[in-house]
């Protein structure tokens, strides 16, 4: 049993109670988790053991990357027809514009691989792994502003207070790693528009689930895990010595008081000590061979970069961390999109492709589910001034593209279609709940059975409406 | 009311002969398995069948009282046909055999329903007098507890020892451990020969002292801040700052003044609606402005105004009533009898606030308090505001007096100004320099057009010195023209190889025989035809004196670097001007000396330039030198006075008042200055957001599926029908709602509060689901006790301190929390200690763990209230996820702010204080009424390594050495007693002393490491103690501060 976040649990209680060692279930530990799956989990065949979610925060423009709209060339500067917009709501950043001039993408698209996936010239490395990918071009969401939209993606609700998807997985499936948390988060700033969009603790928070299911955000400065290092002037041997004393004293207290939480605490201190070795071992990439570093590109040497986080993601996957989530900021291109998106693609194209190749060459892609995407799409019309070479795009919740790869996903596929304006979905719409349900399905979970009693209700990641697994993309 | 006769763990055994209770046995089965489709929610009801109303169920023949065989409910739960089976297989719900049996028996016995207990007014039960505690004193609480234990034939635990008790009490009532002196004093009072007996007088005196300690209010406020979702930031996207600490201080004061809970409620929900409310009663209404407020670009105001109101309804429901009202936002509540319409009737109470719903009246990026907000000056600030207001009144009188002269002044000025305009003199007059030299060797050649071309060497830094005579009269600014020249690098404007220049600063000085010393000219405005991005002309003017730069937005980030003009790509002439704030008077025979300083970048000097000056009043100086007289003014002056339109005359008068020096302008300026002084000072007075009602009621609607843009039927403010009605004729406003909540008729409010106090002290509520007392709640373990406490609370005038005193004076509270001697049966059947066969033992809240370490080490700063503080926080916690908003670049405070109680720590919701989150505090984004208590390795790392705890360990080590005695044994024993309130056992002492010897050896061989360890934190180590000794003891103190006993209340 993994004692990382709870050495005693209701689950061990159930086993121990029958043998008369029921003390372990006392007090607060009754609510605590174990690192083994909940009873009855998994419900379904397990196609993916872990997830690497590459979140592109700020919302990448689908029609400049993966959803080409060649007919738009003839519409340059023409007003978006009302027959397409249909009076749908816009943000107040553009709802006051006198007109909505169509801005065709200035980037070239080509077909790649046997799957003939159409990918923009901005993503040459992604194009090189096209046959590994499954594009969903018909994602849609309800939110129109960043904060509620990214919160919706992460928790299934637009407002704060609900568990993130990684926390749900930690709760349902537990952890397979003895030294690391089940849910690890990595963040990086983009070079496209460095101040957009910010991230929030709640995106990896546990909401109403017990706190230990929160994602642990690895930090780019100082200790990767908060308070990991001993204070200056205290080395590992001295720490060991002091923990031995602490353990002896706590053991004596336990003998007198009999509270099993004391034993749990002793175990947690031991785990903390082990993490002081296992985390630096994880983050120390000095032993990575040059050809692997080259695969991820020159940025991999810069701590806190997307490339370096992709390499860390692979190392976390190797260590069986259940849910690994990268957030890359900087995709919110209201103006100056052509220049800014180049910067973002430069940050992410090569490392994303490298991660897929690296996992594949290690045999890890088969049981690792990769997800790439932002919180909504962008408008075909220009926000602000449109020229031959420059334009901006506002938020567009009605359609956008994400791609998946790896564990249990049919490679080289595309599902969903948008209209000629990439404004409305014309085929196979996929909601965020559907995406969540599909991810859970690949992990062996029936989304209707992953629930937690909160305020008297069976709360679920996939909401009260019936979410559908996207059958067409399952391998 | 029936009570839970057996614990949940034993509940499955309820199929014995005991009488069936609907609330205990049947309701949980129906709510869990049936009500989602056959309950209160009419929109999702299947088969038009509802089982929550007896008459409906009977009419539909689902239930035939007395006859299970003709009840279709029974048929459907027993059938083997999957199409007919209830609950349906795809619901993943399944009835157990014993549940089916219970339903059958219930129907056979008559299918009696009961109203949900929590919706019925609590009736005061008799105290079971037969049960008295064995301890020297107790109270009615014990009688209820002992009666229930007797049913299980379980004994109560013996009393905890006095040391444990004083620590338990101090932590519970003040959030701080007792001082060693207080411990010894209490223990001595309990000493009877060789034994210790806790007697009522000493214990009660201790309780009273702690309840009256100012720390009590801080302790109680902590939980209330979670309920109120209090924070120092707005919570969305930029998560910029807000100021709500005056409200937080109100809460602390209210608890310390023992404000009755009904008043506490009324003032927070509706203090603004009380007759002639005091300032503090209005401040109290900040409770419902503590919710998050969105300011993201592009948001639709109404969407967020609605969300905020829904947050208020949810928070009111959770905080006061223990109800999950939010479930009824989109549809009728699935379990509780709250319809969607009733949800929006509650919504209507909060719909009438004078607000936009978004960050308006403040900035999304730089923060502030969106309206409505109120200033909260202290006494000194109130006086100063009054003085400044009086100065405004005086200045206004002066203006009025001068305004009488306006026609005369205007008449005298107009012909003179006309004559001036007729001369059509350009306002920029070229200087005629007598000397143009340089500090470091640059040479100058005068060109035919009066410009100077630089030549000769190009030193790294250079200052050009221009000396010129200047005629007597007015002076208000200089014009610097720069030009490209073929002789310059890149044929551009500067002497750098790339053709650029960076002008760092311009100094100007006037000398004259009549002046004792040179007059330094201060420029306050700047403008240029063109500035390179990031190198604006405003950087030539210190921010502190700058007026708003003309025509251009001053960006402070440009300041101090210099002015540049994109020389590498832009080979254009350029004009820049620097203007004074007032016209200066130049005496006769004066000289003007100007220094053009280039020192920002190496070899970036101006290549060719010309200087001019102006005597036009500052307000009318422009780059072009056209005198800034608007054409319409010229037209007016050309029109005979008799023919002018009223608007023309008004504009001319306005032009005169603002642009022309006169006694009136002086009075206007003085008034503006007085107003500015007032408003400047006012901005330093803290403000806090409050509630303020609109004069007319804003219509409220049912929102279809809860969506802001889909209003349905109109509703008016009302309360749910299942609860006590509003008083007839009372106005439908927040004040009535608040009074209704704390009416003795309300079934929930008092129960919710006493249940949460019980949970705080004993670990679990009498109703375990303290967050939900609705139909889906857990049955109370001691329903009579819950109602006795609720009626006692109401009967005592909602006296919060009296309630807590009742709880902690009980023998139940004073029981030992040791498990070692408990019968195995109790541990197995009641692991959560619901029946209280022992005292509480549980991990301390996040705040208390830190406050305790600060207190024990002697570092704690006990100052109460004030703006939030910034203790230690690892680098990047704010900045790694956001480059937005004003809460960035966290720097911890110097000294004082580092050691304040934890509830004063600044709270940014999207990146909350990490040690708080690690110890289970909520993010404060939404109302939270219950915290988890987890036990994780990340907590261990924080307590071992976080600066606060290491610094506290070092301070404790200092005290061990200085106050603990001469030998290691004495010092360790002293410290052990100090932190745990008890003496160490011989074994414990041995572990620590042998450990200390090893640390000592370690640091004697590594003195550098010792020096490093003791320099953790901002405070300086005591220089009289050798570093190796201090480090040695610091390690021991670090062990002590991590003891499980310390992290727990025992």
Domains: count for chain B: 4
Query: Is the pLDDT reported for residue B13 higher than 60?
Result: no
Q: Quick one: tokens of B898?
A: 């580092």
Residues B723 and B859 in one domain: no
Query: For residue range A210-238, what is the model confidence (pLDDT) as tens digits?
Result: 888 999 999 998 899 999 999 999 999 99
Residues B596 and B700 in one domain: no
Q: Is A245 within 8 Å of B296 when comparing Cβ atoms?
A: no
Q: Is A222 within 8 Å of B875 when comparing Cβ atoms?
A: yes
Residues B370 and B443 in one domain: no
Whole-number Å distance between alpha carbons of B688 and B283: 7
Interface membership of A194 toward B (CB under 8 Å): yes
Residues B978 and B865 in one domain: yes
Q: Is A91 within 8 Å of B999 when comparing Cβ atoms?
A: no
Residues B366 and B442 in one domain: no
Q: Quick one: tokens of B209?
A: 């002292």
Residues of A in contact with B774 (CB under 8 A): 456
**Selection from B905, B912, B895, B901 nearest residue B869 by Cα:** B905
Q: Is residue B383 in a domain?
A: no
- Cα nearest neighbour of A21 on chain B: B828
**Residue of higher predicted confidence among B891 and B661:** B891
Q: Is A226 within 8 Å of B1016 when comparing Cβ atoms?
A: no
Query: Which residue spans within B483-572 are E strands per DSSP?
Result: 502-503, 505-511, 519-521, 523-528, 563-564
State residue A15's pLDDT score.
35
Q: Is A257 within 8 Å of B912 when comparing Cβ atoms?
A: no
Q: Is A211 within 8 Å of B934 when comparing Cβ atoms?
A: yes
Residues B106 and B236 in one domain: no
Interface membership of A147 toward B (CB under 8 Å): yes
Q: Is A222 within 8 Å of B876 when comparing Cβ atoms?
A: yes
For residues A301-313, average pLDDT? 96
Residues B597 and B705 in one domain: no
**Residue of higher predicted confidence among A28 and B1001:** B1001
Q: Is A245 within 8 Å of B1039 when comparing Cβ atoms?
A: yes
pLDDT band for B559, please (50, 70, 90 cuts).
Answer: low
Domain boundary among B706, B723, B741: B741
Whole-number Å distance between alpha carbons of B957 and B972: 9
Whole-number Å distance between alpha carbons of B251 and B229: 13
Q: Is residue B589 in a domain?
A: yes
Query: Is the pLDDT reported for residue A21 higher than 60?
Result: no
Tally of helices (H runs) and strands (E runs) in chain B: 34, 22
Residues 6 or more apart from B493 whose CB is under 8 A from it?
A: B482, B483, B484, B485, B499, B500, B501, B565, B567, B570, B571, B572, B574, B606, B607, B608
Query: For residue range A77-102, what is the model confidence (pLDDT) as tens digits?
Result: 999 999 999 888 888 888 888 889 99
Query: For residue range A241-288, what is the model confidence (pLDDT) as tens digits?
Result: 999 999 999 999 999 999 999 999 999 999 999 999 999 999 999 999
Residues of B in contact with A211 (CB under 8 A): 917-918, 920, 932, 934, 936
Q: Is B923 within 8 Å of A160 when comparing Cβ atoms?
A: yes
Residues of A in contact with B34 (CB under 8 A): none
Residues B704 and B597 in one domain: no
Whole-number Å distance between alpha carbons of B431 and A172: 82
Which candidate from B307, B1008, B1035 shows the least CB-CB separation from A159?
Answer: B307
DSSP string over A407-446: TTB-TTEEE-EE-TTSSSEEE--EEHHHHHHHHHHHTT--
Residues of B in contact with A93 (CB under 8 A): 297-298
Query: For residue range A339-364, what is the model confidence (pLDDT) as tens digits?
Result: 999 999 999 999 999 999 999 999 99
Which candidate from B297, B910, B936 shows the least CB-CB separation from A212?
Answer: B936
Query: For residue range A172-182, what is the model confidence (pLDDT) as tens digits?
Result: 999 888 788 89
Residues of B in contact with A187 (CB under 8 A): 880-881
Whole-number Å distance between alpha carbons of B813 and B173: 13
Which candidate from B237, B818, B988 shows the least CB-CB separation from A249?
Answer: B988
Query: For residue range B19-34, what is the model confidence (pLDDT) as tens digits?
Result: 788 887 888 888 888 8
Q: Is residue B494 in a domain?
A: yes
Q: Is residue B678 in a domain?
A: no
3-state secondary structure (DSSP) of residue B578: strand
Q: Is residue B399 in a domain?
A: no
> Minimal Cα–Cα distance from A464 to chain B, Å?
11
Residues B472 and B546 in one domain: yes
State residue B18's pLDDT score.
65
For the stretch A292-323, what's the b/e string if a residue is b when 16 or more beta carbons lie within 10 angstroms of its beta carbon? bbebbbebbeeebbbbbbbbbbbbbbebbbbb
- Cα nearest neighbour of A195 on chain B: B883
B308-314's contacts with Cβ under 8 Å and 24+ in sequence apart are: B308/B355, B308/B357, B309/B347, B309/B350, B309/B351, B310/B347, B310/B706, B311/B229, B311/B926, B311/B927, B312/B288, B312/B350, B313/B343, B313/B346, B313/B347, B313/B350, B314/B926, B314/B927
> Minimal Cα–Cα distance from A426 to chain B, Å?
25
Residues B318 and B448 in one domain: no
For residues B236-257, average pLDDT? 97
> Minimal Cα–Cα distance from A111 to chain B, Å?
36
Q: Are B349 and B687 in contact (CB under 8 A)?
A: no
Query: Is the pLDDT reported for residue A423 higher than 70?
Result: yes
Query: Is the pLDDT reported for residue B556 higher than 70?
Result: no
Look-up: residue for tokens 């502030």?
A: B368
For the stretch A144-156, what's the b/e string if a residue is b when 16 or more beta carbons lie within 10 angstroms of its beta carbon? bbbbbbbbbbbbb
Residue ranges of A 329-388 with Cβ closer than 8 A to chain B:
none
Lowest model confidence (mean pLDDT) among A3-12, B479-488, B560-569, B872-881: A3-12
Q: Is A253 within 8 Å of B1043 when comparing Cβ atoms?
A: yes
- Cα nearest neighbour of B297 on chain A: A93
Which candidate from A32, A198, A268 shows the least CB-CB separation from B238?
Answer: A198
For testing the chain A interface, which of B301, B937, B940, B986 should be mutated: the one with the most A CBs within 10 Å? B937
Domain boundary among B588, B608, B624: B624
Residues B483 and B599 in one domain: yes
> B94 is in which domain, residue-wise?
8-115
State residue B628's pLDDT score.
64
Query: ipTM strictly over 0.95?
Result: no
Q: Is B1011 within 8 Å of A264 when comparing Cβ atoms?
A: no
For testing the chain A interface, which of B849, B850, B936 should be mutated: the one with the most A CBs within 10 Å? B936
Interface membership of A227 toward B (CB under 8 Å): yes
Domain boundary among B115, B135, B169: B115
**Selection from B353, B347, B357 nearest residue B737 by Cα:** B347
Which candidate from B841, B940, B1016 shows the least CB-CB separation from A231?
Answer: B1016
> Minimal Cα–Cα distance from A451 to chain B, Å?
11
Which candidate from B817, B940, B999 shows the least CB-CB separation from A268?
Answer: B940
State residue B561's pLDDT score.
84
Write the CATH number for B604.
2.60.120
Residues B609 and B726 in one domain: no
Q: Is residue B770 in a domain?
A: no
Q: Is A147 within 8 Å of B880 when comparing Cβ atoms?
A: no
Q: Quick one: tokens of A263?
A: 């034993």
Interface membership of A70 toward B (CB under 8 Å): no
Query: For residue range B295-322, what is the model confidence (pLDDT) as tens digits?
Result: 998 999 999 999 999 999 999 999 999 9
Whole-number Å distance between alpha carbons of A44 and B428: 85
Which candidate from B294, B709, B942 shows the least CB-CB separation from A226?
Answer: B942
Neighbours of B750 (CB within 10 A): 27
Whole-number Å distance between alpha carbons of B761 and B813: 8
Q: Is residue B963 in a domain?
A: yes
Which candidate from A147, A217, A455 shows the least CB-CB separation from B771?
Answer: A455
For testing the chain B interface, which of A7, A17, A26, A27 should be mutated: the one with the most B CBs within 10 Å? A27
3-state secondary structure (DSSP) of residue B863: coil
Query: For residue range B433-492, what is the model confidence (pLDDT) as tens digits?
Result: 999 999 999 999 999 888 999 999 999 999 999 999 999 988 999 999 999 998 998 889
- Cα nearest neighbour of B1006 on chain A: A233
For residues B697-706, average pLDDT? 95
Residues of B in contact with A175 (CB under 8 A): none
Whole-number Å distance between alpha carbons of A67 and A64: 7
3-state secondary structure (DSSP) of residue B51: coil
Residue ranges of A 456-475 with Cβ closer than 8 A to chain B:
456-457
State residue B622's pLDDT score.
84
Q: State which fold the A49-228+289-473 domain adopts.
A: Alkaline Phosphatase, subunit A (3.40.720)
Interface membership of A16 toward B (CB under 8 Å): no
Q: Is B831 within 8 Å of A93 when comparing Cβ atoms?
A: no
Q: Is residue B150 in a domain?
A: no
């Amino acid at each position: 049993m993994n004692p990382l976040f709870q050495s005693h649990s209701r689950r061990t209680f159930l086993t121990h109670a029958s043998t008369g060692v029921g003390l372990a279930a006392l007090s607060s530990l009754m609510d605590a988790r174990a690192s083994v799956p909940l009873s009855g989990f998994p419900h379904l065949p397990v196609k993916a053991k872990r997830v690497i979610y590459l979140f592109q925060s700020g919302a990448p423009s689908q029609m400049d990357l993966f959803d080409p709209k060649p007919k738009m060339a003839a519409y340059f500067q023409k007003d978006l027809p009302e027959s397409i917009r249909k009076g749908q709501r816009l943000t107040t950043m553009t709802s006051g514009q006198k007109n909505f001039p169509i801005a065709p993408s200035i980037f070239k698209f080509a077909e790649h691989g046997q799957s003939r996936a159409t990918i923009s010239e901005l993503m040459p490395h992604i194009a090189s792994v096209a046959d590994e990918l499954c594009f969903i071009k018909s994602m849609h969401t309800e939110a129109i502003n960043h904060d509620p939209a990214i919160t919706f993606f992460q928790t299934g609700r637009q407002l704060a207070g609900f568990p993130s998807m990684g926390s749900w997985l930690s709760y349902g499936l537990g952890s397979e790693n003895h030294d690391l948390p089940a849910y690890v988060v990595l963040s990086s700033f983009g070079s496209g528009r460095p101040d957009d969009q910010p991230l929030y603790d709640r995106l990896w928070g546990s909401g109403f689930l017990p706190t230990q299911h929160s994602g642990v955000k690895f930090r780019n400065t100082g200790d990767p895990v908060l308070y990991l290092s001993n204070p200056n002037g205290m080395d590992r041997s001295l720490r060991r010595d002091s923990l031995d004393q602490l353990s002896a004293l706590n053991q004596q207290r336990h003998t007198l008081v009999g509270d099993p939480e004391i034993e749990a605490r002793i175990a947690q201190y031991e785990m903390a000590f082990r993490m002081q070795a296992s985390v630096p071992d994880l983050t120390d990439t000095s032993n990575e061979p040059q050809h692997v570093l080259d695969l991820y590109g020159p940025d991999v040497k810069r701590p806190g970069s997307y490339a370096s986080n992709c390499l860390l993601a692979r190392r976390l996957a190797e260590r069986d961390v259940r849910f690994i989530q990268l957030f890359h900021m900087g995709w919110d291109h209201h103006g100056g999109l052509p220049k800014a998106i180049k910067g973002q693609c430069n940050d992410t194209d090569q490392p994303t492709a490298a991660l897929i190749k690296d996992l594949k060459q290690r045999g890890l892609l088969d049981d690792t589910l990769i997800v790439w995407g932002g919180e909504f799409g962008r408008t075909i019309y220009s926000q602000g001034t449109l020229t031959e070479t420059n334009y901006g795009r506002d938020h567009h919740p009605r359609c956008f593209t994400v791609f998946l790869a790896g564990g249990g996903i049919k490679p080289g596929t595309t599902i969903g279609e948008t209209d000629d304006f990439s404004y409305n979905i014309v085929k196979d719409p996929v909601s965020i709940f559907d995406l969540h349900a599909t991810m859970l399905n690949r992990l062996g979970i029936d989304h209707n059975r992953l629930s937690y009693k909160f305020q008297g209700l069976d709360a679920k990641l996939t909401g009260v409406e019936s979410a559908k697994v996207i059958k067409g993309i399952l391998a | 009311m029936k009570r839970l006769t057996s614990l949940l763990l034993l509940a499955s055994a309820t199929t014995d002969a005991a009488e069936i209770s609907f609330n205990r046995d049947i309701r949980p089965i129906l709510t869990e398995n049936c009500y989602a489709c056959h309950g209160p929610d009419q929109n999702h009801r299947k088969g038009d069948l509802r089982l929550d109303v007896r008459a409906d169920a009977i009419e539909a023949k689902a239930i035939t009282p007395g006859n299970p065989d003709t009840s279709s409910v029974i048929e459907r739960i027993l059938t083997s046909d999957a199409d007919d089976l209830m609950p349906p297989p795809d619901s993943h719900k399944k009835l157990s055999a014993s549940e089916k049996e219970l339903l059958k028996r219930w129907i056979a016995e008559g299918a009696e329903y009961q109203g949900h207990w929590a919706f019925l007014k609590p009736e005061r039960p008799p105290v079971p007098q037969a049960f008295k505690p064995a301890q020297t004193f107790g109270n009615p609480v014990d009688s209820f507890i002992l009666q229930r234990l007797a049913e299980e034939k379980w004994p109560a635990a013996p009393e905890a020892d006095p040391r444990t008790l004083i620590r338990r009490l101090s932590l519970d009532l003040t959030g701080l451990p007792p001082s060693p002196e207080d411990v010894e004093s209490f223990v001595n009072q309990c000493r009877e020969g060789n034994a210790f007996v806790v007697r009522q007088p000493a214990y009660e005196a201790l309780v009273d002292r702690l309840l009256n300690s100012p720390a009590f209010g801080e302790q109680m406020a902590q939980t209330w801040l979670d309920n109120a979702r209090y924070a120092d930031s707005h919570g969305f996207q930029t998560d910029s700052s807000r100021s709500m600490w005056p409200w937080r201080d109100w809460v602390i004061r209210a608890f310390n003044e023992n404000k009755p809970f009904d008043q506490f409620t009324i003032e927070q929900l509706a203090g603004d609606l009380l007759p002639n409310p005091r300032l503090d009663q209005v401040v109290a209404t900040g409770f419902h402005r503590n919710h998050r407020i969105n300011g993201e670009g592009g948001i639709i105001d109404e969407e967020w105004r609605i969300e905020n109101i829904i947050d208020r309804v949810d928070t009111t429901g959770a905080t006061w009533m223990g109800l999950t009202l939010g479930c009824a936002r989109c549809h009728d509540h699935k379990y509780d009898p709250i319809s969607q319409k009733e949800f929006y009737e509650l919504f209507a109470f909060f719909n009438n606030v004078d607000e936009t719903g978004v960050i308006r009246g403040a900035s999304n990026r730089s923060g502030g308090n969106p309206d409505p907000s109120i200033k909260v000056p202290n006494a000194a600030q109130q006086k100063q505001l009054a003085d400044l207001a009086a100065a405004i009144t005086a200045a206004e009188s002066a203006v009025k007096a001068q305004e009488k002269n306006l026609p005369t002044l205007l008449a005298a000025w107009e012909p003179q100004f006309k004559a001036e305009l007729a001369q059509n003199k350009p306002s920029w007059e070229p200087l005629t320099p007598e000397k143009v030299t340089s500090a470091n060797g640059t040479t100058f050649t005068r060109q035919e057009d009066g410009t100077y071309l630089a030549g000769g060497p190009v030193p790294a830094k250079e200052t050009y010195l221009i000396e010129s005579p200047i005629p007597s009269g007015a002076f208000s600014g200089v014009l610097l023209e720069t030009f490209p020249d073929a002789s310059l690098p890149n044929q551009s404007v500067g002497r750098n190889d790339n053709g650029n220049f960076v002008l760092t600063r311009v100094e100007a000085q006037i000398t004259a025989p009549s002046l004792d010393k040179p007059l330094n000219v201060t420029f306050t405005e700047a403008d240029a035809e063109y500035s390179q991005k990031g190198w604006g002309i405003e950087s030539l003017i210190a921010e502190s004196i700058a007026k708003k730069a003309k025509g251009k937005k001053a960006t402070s980030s440009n300041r101090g670097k210099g002015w540049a003009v994109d020389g590498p790509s832009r080979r254009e002439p350029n004009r820049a001007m620097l203007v004074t704030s007032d016209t200066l008077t130049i005496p006769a025979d004066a000289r003007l000396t100007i220094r053009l300083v280039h020192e920002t970048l190496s070899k970036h000097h101006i290549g060719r330039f010309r200087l001019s000056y102006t005597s036009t009043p500052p307000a009318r100086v422009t780059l072009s030198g056209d005198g800034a007289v608007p054409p319409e003014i010229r037209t007016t002056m050309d029109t005979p006075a008799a023919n002018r339109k009223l608007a023309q005359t008004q504009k001319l008068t306005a032009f005169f008042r603002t642009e022309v020096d006169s006694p009136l302008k002086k009075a206007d300026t003085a008034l503006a200055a007085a107003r500015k002084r007032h408003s400047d000072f006012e901005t330093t007075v803290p403000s806090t957001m409050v509630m303020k009602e609109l004069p007319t009621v804003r219509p409220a609607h049912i929102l279809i599926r809860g969506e802001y843009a889909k209003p349905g039927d109109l509703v008016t403010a009302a309360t749910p029908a299942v609860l006590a009605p509003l008083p007839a004729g009372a106005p439908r406003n927040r004040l009535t709602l608040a009074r209704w909540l704390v009416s003795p008729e309300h079934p929930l409010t008092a129960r919710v509060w006493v249940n949460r106090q019980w949970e705080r002290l004993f670990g679990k509520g009498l109703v375990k689901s303290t967050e939900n007392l609705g139909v889906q709640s857990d049955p109370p373990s001691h329903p009579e006790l819950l109602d006795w406490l609720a009626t006692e609370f109401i009967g005592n005038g909602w006296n919060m301190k009296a309630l807590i005193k009742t709880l902690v004076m009980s023998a139940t509270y004073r029981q030992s929390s040791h498990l070692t001697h408990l019968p195995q049966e109790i541990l197995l059947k009641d692991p959560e200690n619901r029946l209280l066969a022992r005292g509480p033992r549980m991990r301390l809240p996040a705040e208390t763990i830190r406050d305790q370490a600060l207190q024990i080490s002697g570092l704690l700063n006990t100052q109460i209230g004030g703006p939030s503080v910034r203790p230690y926080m690892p680098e990047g916690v704010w900045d790694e996820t956001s480059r937005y908003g004003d809460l960035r670049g966290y720097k911890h405070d110097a000294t004082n702010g580092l050691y304040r109680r934890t509830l004063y720590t600044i709270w940014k919701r999207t990146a909350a204080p990490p040690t708080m989150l690690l110890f289970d505090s909520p993010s404060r984004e939404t109302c939270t009424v219950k915290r988890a208590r987890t036990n994780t390795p990340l907590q261990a790392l924080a307590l071992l390594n976080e600066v606060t705890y290491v610094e506290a360990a070092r301070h404790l080590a200092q005290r061990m050495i200085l106050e603990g005695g001469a030998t290691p044994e004495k010092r360790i024993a002293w410290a052990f007693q100090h932190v745990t309130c008890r003496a160490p056992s011989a074994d414990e002492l041995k572990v620590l002393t042998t450990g200390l010897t090893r640390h000592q050896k370690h640091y004697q061989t590594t003195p550098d490491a010792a020096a490093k360890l003791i320099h953790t934190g901002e405070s300086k180590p005591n220089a009289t103690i050798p570093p190796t000794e201090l480090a040695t003891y610091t390690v021991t103190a670090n062990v002590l501060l991590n003891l499980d006993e310390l992290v727990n209340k025992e």
